[in-house]
Amino acid sequence: MNKKYIYLLLFPTLFGIGSSSAQTYVDKVSKDSLAILNGRLDVLKNIQKIQELKIREAAEEQAVEKLRIKLLEANDKAKESAAKNSKHAQKLANGSVNAKETAKMAKRAKNDMEESQNALDRYNKQIRKVEGIREQIQSEEKKLGDKKPAIIFDYK
């Protein structure tokens, strides 16, 4: 009978020890590592923002290239109109000129020149936009350089 009481006492004791050890929490992360993890998360967010800005910059640079091509076409068209107008002015000196044709050529040259100027304005505006994005990238990279944590975090 003595063995029965020992087993009866031993079983709840072992069960109690087992349940109490199951409820103990052993931390694997030091207390100051939360700040380190938050710092690393901020760094990752900044890197993501920089990458998004670089993607936007690339898209804007494509638009600059398209506008550059349009500007070259408009300049060529304006040069052709100017050349035609100067040939027409030479004919005017000879006295063999039609008044309607002169007005038409002058109007076309003026329109081509205005189109060329507008293309230049759009091109310059797009370049300023790209430069603004580049400045944002530089400022974000500077912020990122200041935020990089110097501690390497390692789980074991």
Amino acid at 1: M
Query: Taking 60 as the threshold, does the pLDDT of residue 15 lie above it?
Result: yes
Q: Give the tens place of pLDDT for each residue, 93-120.
A: 666 667 677 778 778 888 888 998 999 9
Query: Taking 60 as the threshold, does the pLDDT of residue 85 lie above it?
Result: yes
State residue 79's pLDDT score. 87
Q: What is the mean pLDDT of the chain?
A: 80
Instruction: Delimit the domains of the chain by residue range.
Output: 31-147
Could you give the residue ranges of the DSSP H alpha helices within the chain? 2-22, 33-94, 99-147
Residue in 64, 72, 154 with CA at minimum distance from that of residue 115: 72
Give the burial class of 2: count Cβ atoms within 10 A of its Cβ; 0-12 exposed, 13-18 middle, 19 or more buried.
exposed
- Report which DSSP code applies to 11: H
Query: Taking 60 as the threshold, does the pLDDT of residue 18 lie above it?
Result: no
Residue in 64, 46, 51, 66 with CA at minimum distance from that of residue 129: 64
Q: Would you place residue 145 in the very low, low, confident or very high pLDDT band (cuts 50, 70, 90)? A: confident
- Contact at 8 Å (CB) between 91 and 97? yes
Q: Mean pLDDT throughout 42-50?
A: 89
Query: Taking 60 as the threshold, does the pLDDT of residue 1 lie above it?
Result: no
CA distance 60 to 65: 9
Q: pLDDT above 90 covers what percent of the chain?
A: 31
Among the ranges 42-46, 59-63, 139-143, which has the highest mean pLDDT value?
Answer: 59-63
Amino acid at 16: G
